[in-house]
Amino acid sequence: MDGWPHLLSCLALVSVIGIGSNIDNTGVGAAYGSAGIRFPHWVNGIVNGIGLASSVMGAWAGSALSAWVPLVWVQMAACLVLCGLGWYLLCSSARLPEANIRRPLAPPGWREGIALGMALSATNVASGASASLTTSLPTWAISVSIGAWGYLCLWLGNRLAHTLVSRVLGTYGGILAGVTLMVIGIRQLV
């Protein structure tokens, strides 16, 4: 399959990987936005620069492992990692009611940007590794998609935080991200 249809299907797959890896970014942006805090672009850049670097590391590690490990084992490992991460996000979201989360009153600075980047990069590592193991897409395309969609998801969640939809997503962003990761993980085996 060559030409435009192949290119469009690759772009669609890369975009789905990027969006699925960054649903939690939308929830973080919405959490700040619902508190009336605008997330600065430069802090968003720090958060997603760390996310981009972690997805590059994950994709590179996945590509290196694919040369030595049979595809079935790789698919099972990707399923276990993604389902485990999804389960962790589900349990974390269920344990932490929104009333217990203290929202900052000032816009986040570079220290908080680094902390958020590290916290949000776990899904990027797992998504980068599993995508490079199970697809023939270039690792750079996967990583760039994860980084770009991470920036857009955080910005979009922050900007739309005052509407009903984004408040629900901000409250249940971890649950939605967990379920999405588990579905993607199970899809690895099919």
Per-residue pLDDT tens over the stretch 29-88 = 877 776 677 889 999 999 999 999 988 888 888 777 777 777 677 677 767 876 776 787
| Predicted local distance difference test score (pLDDT) of residue 99 | 46
* Stated pTM of the model: 0.69
CA–CA separation, 134 and 157 (whole Å)? 29
Instruction: Output the six-digit token pair for 69.
Output: 């490990």
Look up the domain containing 133 and give its range. 4-189
What's the total number of domains in the chain? 1
Name the residue with higher pLDDT: 8 or 136.
8
pLDDT at 148: 95
